[in-house]
Amino acid sequence: MIDALPLEDRVALVSGGAQGIGRAIAARFQRAGAAVILIDVDAKAGQASARALSAEIPQRPVSFVPADLLLPAQIASALSEVREQFGRVDILVNNAGVEIERSFESTTIGDWDRLLGVNLRGAFLLTQAALPLFPAAGGAIVNISSIHASHAFPDSLAYACSKAGLLALTRNLALELAPRHIRVNALCPGYIDTRLWEEYVSRAADPAALAAQTAALHPIGRRGQPRDVAEAVLYLASDSSAFVTGTSLVLDGGLTIRAHA
């Protein structure tokens, strides 16, 4: 069943779209009427996701372009392909990201550069490359940050800095791009059940206990699902949020409102 179409006739580019949250966003945008392009460093997974999503709604196929966001030349090549196929971009979702758990003392410069390079520099470079493709009517940019941007967690310094940087990028881009009618907002998810989360839980001494413990941390009683993120991103990307720019929306089931555990 195809939903109402708040994104009909719009072109949406979703980075990190091959799996997890990115794929859920792409699927939601597709159901909302958008022409969706996935961009991801994992060509095999990206092509597979594009094929699977296209099969679900054949009249609205999903495309895939490969790019490593650490490499400006690959970003330029990907956006050149998007321009050739679609002519424009109305919505950009900077979702691609990596996470490395290290204590401060054990964090290497390589860890730091990779996290900041993909999560923050990559969003900067992709936005800069996509900007000329936005039409005069404007559009929307959504940056996927994290509750790590505002709350401290063990072994997450570099990751937190990259996500906090995305909030600064969001605010400043919102101000600078407002005359071009481009709204820029950020989403800050908490615990979301993705493949990476499942792998993390599986490494625990007692996976079932960890899963129950983390669910109990949320006043709402559960961890988030990729579809929860996708619905929030749809709001920020659509005309439903036409008067919203330069802000960040926390999506964490109430996790960060607790004064203590």
Tally of domains within the chain = 1
- At 215-244, the pLDDT tens digits run 998 999 999 999 999 999 999 999 999 999
Whether 58 maps to a domain, the answer reads yes
Alpha-carbon distance of 252 to 257, in angstroms, equals 9
Range scoring the smallest mean pLDDT among 126-130, 143-147, 211-215: 211-215
pLDDT digits (tens, 9 = 90+) for 156-200: 999 999 999 999 999 999 999 999 999 999 999 999 998 877 877
CB 192 within 8 A of CB 224: yes
DSSP codes, 190-242: -SB--HHHHHHHHTSSSHHHHHHHHHHTSTTSS-B-HHHHHHHHHHHHSGGGT
207 found inside a domain: no
Residue 153 has pLDDT above 60, yes or no: yes
**pLDDT mean over 31-37:** 98
Please check whether residue 151 lies inside any domain of the structure.
Answer: yes
Domain of residue 169 covers 11-192+226-257
pLDDT, position 202 = 82
pTM: 0.95
Among 74-83, 199-208, 224-233, the range scoring the smallest mean pLDDT is: 199-208
Q: What is the mean pLDDT of residues 9-15?
A: 98
CATH number of the domain at 151, please. Answer: 3.40.50.720
Q: Band the pLDDT of 260: cuts 50, 70, 90.
A: low
Among the listed residues 159, 191, 200, 235, the single catalytic one is: 159
Structural domain contains residue 218? no
Does 197 fall in a domain? no
Q: Is 191 a catalytic residue?
A: no
Is residue 210 domain-resident?
no
- In a domain? residue 80: yes
Backbone CA torsion sign across 72, 78, 84, 88? negative
pLDDT of amino acid 195 = 80
Task: Establish if 71 belongs to a structural domain.
Answer: yes
